[in-house]
Amino acid sequence: TSAFPIISQKEVTTHRSLEHGIWVTFKGGVYDITKFVAMHPGGNKILLAAGGALEPFWALYAVHNQEHVLEMLSEYKVGEL
């Protein structure tokens, strides 16, 4: 079992600004990436995924398909869908 709370898709969509926090989903996980946004090597493009799923964007930018990127993402996990 998981130690993370269940978070609804609807709740995730309310977190798409620096003011309200920037959350994304990936493979059923929910991530609060607010503090990572300014460190993103790909710049502000990351904000396109704010409040929604990373999958469609990472399908286009295959640079994310690496173990070290997934490890980085895992540090920001806050819940599960």
Q: Is 28 in the site for ligand HEM (CB under 6 A)?
A: no
Q: Is 24 in the site for ligand HEM (CB under 6 A)?
A: yes
**How many other C-beta atoms can be found within 10 angstroms of the C-beta atom of residue 79?**
19
Cβ within 8 Å of residue 47, ≥6 positions away = 22, 37
Closest-approach residue to ligand HEM (CB): 42
Q: Is 12 in the site for ligand HEM (CB under 6 A)?
A: no
Distance between CA atoms of residues 47 and 58, nearest Å: 13
User: What does the binding site for ligand HEM look like in residue numbers (CB under 6 A)?
Assistant: 24, 33, 36, 40-42, 45-46, 48-49, 54, 57, 61, 63-64, 66, 69, 72-73
